[in-house]
């Protein structure tokens, strides 16, 4: 049963995960269809700004030789290396000047899939009065999933809008949706 789409208002926050060049068309770790989420994500950013809701943009921000890279024994090709072109936000992403930028994966020896993992984001959102979060971005079956699970565990009413996210694999996306629903994440299938 499709869920009602969340409308952003004061007390909410929009979290945009990892809409970076390396995850988009032609990137080092391209997620198929990633560029297609930009109209939805940009419309939600505009909605958040109009509602006075904070916009958070997370980014992978890895040092060279990061533990998650294949060359270091990890599962992924090198991606989103600090200060590289691939680590930049997608050029069509319309982040507001006051967006909260959360960098993750900065420690060379461990990965951070969730925007809440050792970033202080939960406390920052609480100080801003956020009680609900709407999550979009890349990739549904990795960082979106982990961020949504962490948001729920930290007491936020958590929504994920599928039209604003893409998975690395369709199987992974289906499994992620199932895990999120079991954790009481509201998955919006608009």
Which of 145, 116, 142, 118 has the alpha carbon at shortest distance from 130?
116
6 lies in a domain? Answer: no
Number of alpha carbons in the 13 Å side-chain half-sphere of residue 34: 30
133 lies in a domain? Answer: yes
Please give the average per-residue pLDDT across 148-167, as a whole number. Answer: 98
At residue 5 the predicted structure's pLDDT band, cuts being 50, 70 and 90, is: confident
Give the count of domains, the chain: 1
**How many residues comprise the chain?**
190
Whether the per-residue pLDDT at 3 is higher than 60: the answer is no
pLDDT at 177: 97
| Residue 156's CATH number | 3.40.50.850
pLDDT at 1: 40
- Please say if 143 is a catalytic residue: yes
172 lies in a domain? Answer: yes
Q: CA-to-CA distance for 116 and 133, rounded, in angstroms?
A: 12
Domain residues for the domain of 161 are 12-188
Which of 9, 91, 15 has the alpha carbon at shortest distance from 55?
15
Q: Which of 104, 111, 141, 150 is catalytic?
A: 104
Q: Which of 12, 18, 22, 141 is catalytic?
A: 18
Phi, psi (degrees; rounded to nearest 5) at 163: -70, -15
Model-level pTM greater than 0.75? yes
2 lies in a domain? Answer: no
Q: State pLDDT tens for residues 81-136.
A: 999 999 999 999 999 999 999 999 999 998 999 999 999 999 999 999 999 999 99
- Please say if 18 is a catalytic residue: yes
63 lies in a domain? Answer: yes
Which of 165, 153, 9, 27 has the alpha carbon at shortest distance from 86?
27
């Amino acid at each position: 049963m499709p869920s009602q789409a969340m409308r952003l208002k004061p007390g909410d926050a929009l979290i945009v995960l990892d809409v970076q060049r390396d995850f988009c068309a032609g990137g080092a770790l391209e997620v198929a269809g990633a560029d297609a989420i930009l109209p939805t994500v940009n419309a939600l950013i505009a909605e958040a700004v109009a509602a006075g809701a904070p916009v958070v943009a997370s980014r992978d921000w890895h040092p060279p030789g990061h533990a998650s890279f294949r060359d270091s024994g990890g599962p992924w090709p090198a991606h989103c290396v600090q200060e590289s072109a691939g680590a930049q936000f997608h050029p069509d992403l319309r982040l507001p000047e006051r967006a909260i930028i959360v960098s993750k994966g900065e420690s060379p020896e461990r990965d951070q899939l969730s925007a809440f993992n050792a970033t202080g984001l939960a406390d920052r959102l609480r100080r801003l009065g956020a009680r609900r979060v709407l999550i979009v971005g890349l990739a549904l079956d990795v960082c979106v999933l982990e961020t949504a699970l962490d948001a729920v565990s930290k007491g936020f009413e958590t929504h994920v809008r599928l039209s604003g996210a893409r998975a690395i694999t369709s199987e992974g996306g289906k499994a992620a949706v199932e895990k999120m629903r079991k954790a009481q994440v509201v998955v919006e299938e608009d």
